[in-house]
């Protein structure tokens, strides 16, 4: 009758490993049990999920579909647990995640004016975990930068901001007023995020070094392992003696959005989204936040 989430979790493990024995090992159950559970799941769904021919387990079309759906589904069950526990503790906290350089406090203050009983917590998130943090409920709402996997999320565009190139101090373009993408073509790239989550979408197809967070980016660039790109506002908060920032106006601007887990039904969250939208308009248009207005053109709001 109801989908069995335990079997679904087992399925995900088998689908990842494509090996019953090792999957069972990881799940700390015996292999025969796993075989039976998967078969039961197949019977329940009325579809075979794996082809077990000689030497090798392979996903069927149905299996691929289930694997694609299972992740968000399991994540949202975890999110439900978190939210219920929070509500049971008489939760008056809202966890707001943000990528480096995005100002959270204006929206938080506007929000706390309307909800004096709710405490806003803020927490840094990174490109490689921003979606997961939202999906499993570790943050209620997140200021994210594109690209992001929208599956399971409600994503509201806020504004865009130009990007800067991050170059080692001795770089041949380090003294330029600005650079173009063509100038830097062929340079090895220090890219932001885990290669398994965002293998495409990087500005250059070059091999390079995967990093987490702005600090690591700066260290790698300073060490001469490559160059990188940052949203301009992020560059304001981080500096390194052996690194320089050079505007690269040609590069597509960084898009800042507000994201909420699609399963997250809460008036409090909705109110924060509203507050964030109006304060984003103010920061973008009036520039009462210094770093937005630093040099160059004002940040443009994204339609």
Q: One symbol per residue from 49 to 88: x for binding DNA (CB under 7 A), - otherwise; what is it?
A: ---x-xx-x-------------------------------
- Map residues 15-54 to x or -, x wherever contact with a second copy holds by CB under 8 A: ------------------------------xxxx------
Residues with Cβ within 8 Å of 110's Cβ and at least 6 positions away in sequence, in order, are 275, 278, 279
Q: Nearer Cβ to DNA, position 49 or 165? A: 49
Q: How far is the CB of 51 from DNA (least distance, A)?
A: 10
Cα-Cα-Cα-Cα torsion 259, 261, 264, 265, nearest 10 degrees, comes to 50
If contact means CB under 5 to 8 A according to the sort of partner, which of DNA, a second copy, none does residue 185 touch?
none
CA distances to 20, 59, 192, 275 from 113, in Å: 54, 52, 35, 10
Taking the CA atoms of the chain, what radius of gyration do you get in angstroms? 23
Query: Binding of DNA at residue 154 (CB under 7 A)?
Result: no
The set of residues, in sequence order, having a beta carbon less than 8 Å from that of 109 and lying 6+ positions away, is none
Chain centroid to CA 32: 37
* Cβ–Cβ under 8 Å, residues 168 and 227: yes
Contact between 24 and 30 (Cβ < 8 Å): yes
Cross-strand bridge partners of residue 52: 57
Least distance (Å) between residue 262 CB and a second copy: 3
| 262 near a second copy, judged by CB under 8 A | yes
By the criterion CB under 7 A, which residues form the site for DNA? 4, 6-7, 19-22, 28-33, 35-40, 52, 54-55, 57
By the criterion CB under 8 A, which residues form the site for a second copy? 1-6, 9, 45-48, 60-62, 64-66, 68-70, 72-73, 76-77, 79-81, 83-88, 90-91, 150-155, 262-266
């Amino acid at each position: 009758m109801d989908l069995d989430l335990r079997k679904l979790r087992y399925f995900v493990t088998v689908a990842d490993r494509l090996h019953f024995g090792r999957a069972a090992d990881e799940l700390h159950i015996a292999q025969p049990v796993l075989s039976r559970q998967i078969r039961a799941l197949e019977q329940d769904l009325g579809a075979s999920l794996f082809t077990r021919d000689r030497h090798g387990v392979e996903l069927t079309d149905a299996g691929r579909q289930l694997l694609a759906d299972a992740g968000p589904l399991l994540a949202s069950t975890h999110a439900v647990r978190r939210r219920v526990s929070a509500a049971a503790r008489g939760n008056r906290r809202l966890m707001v995640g943000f990528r480096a350089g995005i100002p959270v406090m204006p929206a938080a203050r506007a929000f706390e004016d309307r909800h004096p009983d709710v405490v806003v917590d803020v927490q840094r998130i990174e490109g490689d975990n921003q979606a997961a943090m939202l999906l499993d409920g570790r943050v209620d709402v997140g200021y994210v930068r594109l690209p992001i996997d929208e599956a399971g999320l409600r994503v509201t565009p806020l504004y865009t901001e130009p990007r800067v190139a991050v170059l080692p101090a001795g770089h041949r373009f380090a003294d330029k007023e600005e650079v173009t993408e063509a100038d830097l073509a062929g340079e090895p790239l220090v890219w932001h995020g885990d290669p398994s989550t965002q293998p495409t979408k990087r500005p250059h197809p070059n091999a390079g070094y995967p990093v987490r967070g702005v600090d690591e980016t700066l260290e790698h660039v300073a060490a001469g392992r490559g160059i990188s790109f940052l949203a301009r506002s992020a560059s304001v908060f981080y500096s390194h003696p052996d690194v320089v920032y050079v505007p690269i106006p040609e590069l597509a601007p960084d898009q800042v959005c507000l994201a909420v887990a699609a399963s997250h039904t809460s008036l409090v969250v909705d109110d924060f989204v509203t507050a964030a939208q109006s304060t984003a308009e103010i920061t973008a248009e009036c520039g009462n936040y210094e770093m937005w207005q630093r040099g160059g053109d004002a940040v443009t709001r994204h339609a």
